């Protein structure tokens, strides 16, 4: 899991593995509730999925590119393009299933 700043965000999206961007803010309760699930997912998928956390308060221009309506917002990228979005806090099992489903759709 990587914390990105506005200056490093675009570089963090460049990866040989899919990238899951977590758009969050420290004042957001649901964002804080998702943090342990994202940490577990990062551990489970080490080397197969990169998770990049972007604080929307510290990088508003980067966040604006995603037309964020609310947080937490997860945006999954593969080969430099967006392939899916998930809004709101979800349990770990739902998060795992969503990531797997999005990636399998792209593989078809």
Largest CA distance in the chain: 39
**C-alpha span between 21 and 50 (Å, rounded):** 8
Token pair 């966040």 in the structure block, residue: 63
Catalytic residue, candidates 4, 13, 21, 28: 28
- Establish whether 54 is a catalytic residue: no
Residues 6 or more apart whose CB falls under 8 angstroms from that of 79 comprise: none
Catalytic residue, candidates 31, 49, 73, 86: 31
With beta carbons less than 8 A apart as the criterion, state whether 75 and 64 touch: no
- Establish whether 28 is a catalytic residue: yes
- Tell me the catalytic residues: 28, 31
């Amino acid at each position: 899991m990587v914390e990105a700043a506005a200056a490093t965000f675009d570089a963090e999206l460049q990866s040989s593995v899919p990238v899951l961007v977590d758009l969050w803010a420290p004042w957001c309760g649901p964002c804080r509730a998702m943090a342990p699930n994202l940490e577990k997912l990062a551990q489970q998928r080490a080397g197969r999925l990169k998770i990049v956390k972007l604080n929307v308060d510290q990088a508003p221009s980067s966040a604006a590119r995603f037309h964020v309506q609310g947080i937490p917002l997860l945006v999954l990228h593969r080969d430099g393009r967006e392939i899916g979005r998930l809004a709101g806090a979800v349990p770990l099992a739902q998060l795992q299933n969503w990531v797997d489903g999005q990636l399998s759709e792209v593989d078809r």
